[in-house]
Amino acid sequence: AGQRYEAENSPAVCQGTIDSNHAGYSGSGFCNGTSAVGAYSELTVTAVAAGTATLGVRFANGTGAARPASLVVNGSTVATVSFESTGTWTAWSTKTLTAALNTGSNTVRLVSTTAAGLPNVDFIDVR
């Protein structure tokens, strides 16, 4: 079983606002990132052993255009992710990514690469 890290729970950082106006999210809300290049949602995740982890990012993108982001793990960009349209802001989807994690604490940051900003980010499941 994996561990769920909610984007609205400290020590997570949401450069934007924690909102709860689009149903279907987990926990108490989601991160609505600022609409700007570089705005991020950061989760601090723990790994019991170093190695490749699967990251399930739950998001919603109610626009018609993708919301691309860099996946930055412990300060290094490891992938570019295209968060496609999910149709509406209440339609949540999970994007499965992989990344190498260190034993113990790791920062996982999704950083907007366009002026439109990130999709709304609900949580990351790590296993």
Which residues form the interface with ligand GCU (CB under 6 A)?
19, 22, 32, 35, 63, 89, 117, 120
Nearer to ligand GCU, 40 or 89 (CB): 89
Residue 34 CA: distances (Å) to CA of 17, 29, 76, 107, 119: 8, 16, 21, 19, 10
Query: CA-CA distance, 74 to 121, in Å (whole number)?
Result: 19
Residue with the shortest CB distance to ligand GCU: 32
Minimum distance from CB of 55 to ligand GCU (Å)?
A: 21
Tokens 């930055």 belong to 72
The nearer residue to ligand GCU, 5 or 92, going by C-beta atoms, is: 92
Cβ proximity of 45 and 109 under 8 Å = no
Instruction: Decide whether 28 or 98 has the Cβ nearer to ligand GCU.
Output: 28
Least distance to ligand GCU, CB of residue 78, Å: 24
